[in-house]
Amino acid sequence: MSNKAYDTLKTIALVWTPISVFIVAVLSALAVPHLDVVTAILAALDTLLGSLVEVARRQYTKTYGEVQG
């Protein structure tokens, strides 16, 4: 996996997913209508980003092989 792909995955896991949870929690506390739709959109976006990172990782591995260490 390239450094860029690793950094992207790490950013998603450590920044974007917690931000999404925070947004949903705040919206829930404010009793925002249709929160189920907001939650579904945030989950879909996070899934898309994770999939894109995985595709990039597989392409990198196919081209350069597994990185050791």
Domain boundaries, the chain: 3-64
Which tokens go with 31? 């009793």
Mapped onto helix, strand or coil, the DSSP state of residue 30 is: coil
Please choose, from the candidates 46, 6, 2, the residue with its C-alpha nearest in 3D space to the C-alpha of residue 24: 46
What global pTM score does this model have? Answer: 0.61
Convert the pLDDT of each residue in 14-66 to its tens digit.
Answer: 788 788 888 888 888 988 888 888 788 877 877 887 787 778 778 878 888 87
Q: Residue 67's pLDDT is what?
A: 63
Tell me how far apart the alpha carbons of residues 69 and 57 are, in angstroms, rounded to a whole number: 16
Across 43-55, b (16+ Cβ under 10 Å) vs e yields: eeebeebbeebee
Mapped onto helix, strand or coil, the DSSP state of residue 67 is: coil
Which tokens go with 26? 């705040």
